[in-house]
Structure 1
Amino acid sequence: MNPRRQKRLVAVTAFVLLLGGAIGAMLYALQQNIDLFYTPSQLIEGIGKDKVKPEVGQRLRIGGMVVKGSVRRAPDSLKVSFDLVDTGPIVTVEYEGILPDLFREGQGIVAQGVLVDKTTILASEVLAKHDEEYMPPEVAEALKGIKHVPPSQLYKESDKGQQP
């Protein structure tokens, strides 16, 4: 092989190796930032026909409705735990910090955190929806089976004149 072709071959090989290394490093870095979205039913029963469940220690996001009467606050700290539900099983979320102003029982929320065991999530962030009609697209898709009546439709036509 002549020296000119040998130099090109070394240069092309080095370029391919560097490009492959850069892509590998990017994928490794992104892997740590991927948070998959689950509902309580999907978390317990699994996703897809293979029923794939998240592993303990995996970062994830979970969305559902806060069960009424399930909010428990620690008297000496900012620790709070509450239950989430969609159409079936209940999952417990533990959080330490100040909850959003719009957080309340019966409210749709999305929590981001780490799976501690198969029904408990240690949340690092809790997000509440911003008004009574809005729901994140992932949560709306996952909760299609739940019959949800917006508060604006709770009043009868004859009561609309008396509504404040």
Structure 2
Amino acid sequence: MSSILISGYRAFDLGIFDEKVPQVKIIKKAIERDLKKFLEEGVEWLIFTGNLGFEVWCLEIAKDLQKEYDFQIATIFIFENQGENWNEANQAKLSLFRQVDFVKSAYPRYENPSQFREYNQFLIHNTDGAYLFYDEERETNLKYLLTVMKEQEDYFIKKLTFDDLNDLAENFS
């Protein structure tokens, strides 16, 4: 695999409104473990969509890992104006996604619902696999992306689950 799409729960999906809570430390520990494994297996690109929460935490870890590993980071936003109405704190987080090796937007702005389906197809057809923080029992709009992933033959999906986090938390010191 040379490219991995990264996506998952947004902070508000998880009820996390303060990045200093212990849950974020556990999630970041899992992210670091998993990203190192991908990079040691030869992944060359980590692809983000610019969502807050899991993706921001992965991006922060990935930027640190670029000091140790040779890989590139890309952000492919769905819309050029993504996040334009967000508050200042979220705008600052969003700006991190613009400070990577490659940045592009699929569309200038929202025009119709089919853009979401086409965007998901594009992401999947241009990556070898995905790293998702998602549990199908706690559904969000990410279910649409996951459905398309599952329809693809030989598309690798590594999921970070709540059970993984619970196991890690038990051993976290």
**Shared fold per TM-score greater than 0.5:** no
Normalising by structure 1, what TM-score? 0.24
Name whichever structure is richer in strand by fraction.
1
Larger radius of gyration: 1
Whose RCO is larger (CA < 8 A, sep 6+)? Answer: 2
